[in-house]
Amino acid sequence: MGLKRNVSLSTALGYKGQGPYLTFILHRIGGSALFILFTVYILSLLGVQSMHTLMGNWVFQIVFLVFGLFHAINGLRITILDLFPKLIEHFRTAINIEWVVYVLVAGFAVFVVIRNAMGG
């Protein structure tokens, strides 16, 4: 039986978690997205034609870049804070820096994919 939390996502985001909670939930979504990508990638390498086509789809690429890059960048922040606990005092600053880095990297990645989809 599943848990009955009775707390909607919007309520959770509006509660004390806010920014950190948003990164937590996006990290999970990103991890799940990468798990799916890994499966599609392996099947594609094995020569499954439909997975090959899916990998080449620009919408698919954008979805996985947006969520996958967030997972990687957020994971780097978590790892740094875990390995250097004294920095935890500045975790909100770390999250702000993470967002700036993420927007720049993901923005560039999405730009490249869309530009290629439009024919360069």
Partner 1 sequence: MVTRTLPLKKRGFSFEVFMWAFTRFTVIAMYGLIIVGILGGLRLSMMTGVNFGDIMYWAFFPNMAENPLGQVWMNLVTRLMVIAFVLSACGHGVHGVLEILDDYFTSELARRWSRNFIITYAIVASLVAMYVILTK
Query: What's the rounded Cα separation, in Å, for the pair 76 and 78?
Result: 5
The full DSSP string for 29-58 is HHHHHHHHHHHHHHHHHTT-HHHHHHHH-H
Q: Is 89 in the site for partner 1 (CB under 8 A)?
A: yes
Of 33-72, binders to partner 1 (CB under 8 A) are 34-35, 38-39, 42, 44-47, 52, 55
Q: Residue 117 corresponds to which tokens in the numbers above?
A: 């989809």
In the complex, minimum distance from the CB of residue 93 to partner 1, in angstroms, rounded to a whole number: 12
Q: Which positions lie near partner 1, rule CB under 8 A?
A: 1-3, 28, 31-32, 34-35, 38-39, 42, 44-47, 52, 55, 75-76, 79, 82-83, 85-86, 88-89
